[in-house]
Amino acid sequence: MEMPTPCERCNELFDLLNGSRSPRNPRIVICEECANKEQEEVNKEEEIIELQEEITDAKDTIKRNTERLRELGVAVKLN
Ligand SMILES: [Zn+2]
């Protein structure tokens, strides 16, 4: 190891030259394994938010379209 550095996430020593910027805090360099793990977590969190937003949008669409269909005299049955 040329520049042994303790990882702020797992406390293991890693070579600073092989480290990666933390996806959550780009000001710090952490070991590659922790950086990969963090990136996966960030991706998962972003996907969860996206999926939740899509559900909210879909609910709004159902509500709006149902109201409009009823205005147009179409009987709409929701489960
Ligand atoms: Zn680490």
pLDDT tens readout for residues 29-51? 999 999 999 999 999 999 999 99
Q: Could you give the residue ranges of the DSSP H alpha helices within 1-79?
A: 32-71
CA of 47 to the centre of ligand 1 (A): 24
State the Cα–Cα distance between residues 54 and 10, nearest whole angstrom.
35
> Residue 29 forms beta bridges with which residues?
21
- Environment class of residue 37 by beta-carbon count within 10 Å: exposed (0-12), middle (13-18) or buried (19+)? middle
Q: What's phi and psi for 44, nearest 5 deg?
A: -65, -45
Distance separating alpha carbons of residues 37 and 51, to the nearest angstrom = 21
The answer to whether the pTM exceeds 0.85 is: no
Task: State the pLDDT confidence band at 4, using cuts at 50, 70 and 90.
Answer: very high
Q: Tell me the CA–centroid distance for residue 49 and ligand 1, in Å.
A: 26
